[in-house]
Amino acid sequence: MPPRPIRLPSLDALLAFEAVARAGSFEAAADELALTASAVAKRVAGLEERLDQPLFLRQPARGLTLTPAGHEYLPQVRQALALLQAMPLHQRNPAVRERLRVSSTPTFARQLLVPALPGFTAAHPQVELELTLSVPLLAEGDAGADVEIRHGAVPEDLSAAQVLLHDRLTPLAAPALLARHAPLTQPADLLSLPLLRTPLQPWSPWLRAAGLADAAEPDEGPRFVDLGLTLAAALAGQGVALARLSLARHELADGRLVQPFPLTVPAERAYGLVCHRPSPAAEAFAGWLHAHCRAVEAENSSAAP
């Protein structure tokens, strides 16, 4: 005769049976297993059906009590569960993830940080990064952030060690805008074009370096309280932006913006990283971001006209 097939119960059913026997009720076992009492009762009933005999007596006055078969079965189940729990592969600790909240100015986040984040995630998979935005001039930053990417003056707002980028400024324009005007042969020719304005970056440093110290700051057109919006307006052909090479390097590389003159000047305000809550995750992020920004600076230097 062929051997009788073995009818193995499910592990979930065994865990439910052991928990009910120890806790004394479906409700107490359900709390322990993060299930409903109905789900626990169904698992125990399925186990009893598979074994073809009851394991508990259900008595309204006394609740649940083990049957003789249940008393005999319980130590065997506990021994089997203990053997499974003792296996090294079942004892591996779950990966501990450390949450890191990063606050950043919008343009830095979009142009520099987010495109490079896969590199950080690959190098530090244990860090769960949450990125929020703060707007310079309109907000004081994010008090709940662990680290903050800030745009400010050195040394008033940032120390030298906190600086991420030593940026260079230069006029950038869309080819379509330049095509609608006479060729630019000298910096003074820029004054015939609409110059985009933002309180975050006045034109005066570049104008002085170009020998145009008497030229006034632009006072017409929209006033953009965000460097990214200034770049967007330049891309749309609305005017010439005095832009940071670090923020516009992709647009320059693919020809959506062009640099009419090779003259650049250092930015008076810098992007810096401020750590509010030191931690291994914050230290890892700071090291990675400083290295990324150094690579961006090197890229800009090699691409300079």
For the segment 244-248, the average pLDDT, to the nearest whole number, is 93
What gap in Å lies between CA 166 and CA 171, rounded to an integer?
17
pLDDT recorded at residue 238: 96
- Omega prior to 155 cis, within 30 of 0: yes
> Could you give the percent of the chain with pLDDT greater than 90?
70
- Largest Cα–Cα separation, the chain: 108
**Using an 8 Å Cβ cutoff, are 137 and 226 in contact?**
no
> Could you give the percent of the chain with pLDDT greater than 70?
92
**Using an 8 Å Cβ cutoff, are 150 and 158 in contact?**
yes
Q: Which two tokens stand for residue 205?
A: 């440093």
Residue 141 confidence (pLDDT) above 60: no
**Using an 8 Å Cβ cutoff, are 172 and 258 in contact?**
yes
pLDDT recorded at residue 189: 94
pLDDT recorded at residue 305: 56
Please, what is the angle between helix 11-23 and helix 37-51, to 10°?
Answer: 110
**pLDDT confidence band for 96 (50 / 70 / 90):** confident
Sequence-distant (6+) residues with CB within 8 A of 20 are 26, 29, 40, 44, 56, 64
What gap in Å lies between CA 127 and CA 144, rounded to an integer?
17
CB atoms within 10 A of CB 210: 18
pLDDT for 62-91, tens place per residue? 778 899 999 999 999 999 988 888 887 776
pLDDT for 164-179, tens place per residue? 998 999 999 999 999 9
pLDDT recorded at residue 175: 96
pLDDT recorded at residue 109: 95
What gap in Å lies between CA 56 and CA 69, rounded to an integer?
9
pLDDT recorded at residue 292: 94
**Using an 8 Å Cβ cutoff, are 299 and 253 in contact?**
no
Half-sphere exposure of 158 (CA within 13 A, CB side): 22
Q: Which two tokens stand for residue 122?
A: 């690959």
Q: Which two tokens stand for residue 236?
A: 């749309």
pLDDT for 187-202, tens place per residue? 999 999 999 999 989 9
Q: Which two tokens stand for residue 288?
A: 């990675």
Q: Any alpha helices (H) in the chain, and if so which ranges?
A: 11-23, 26-33, 37-51, 68-86, 106-108, 117-123, 175-179, 204-209, 227-235, 249-253, 280-303
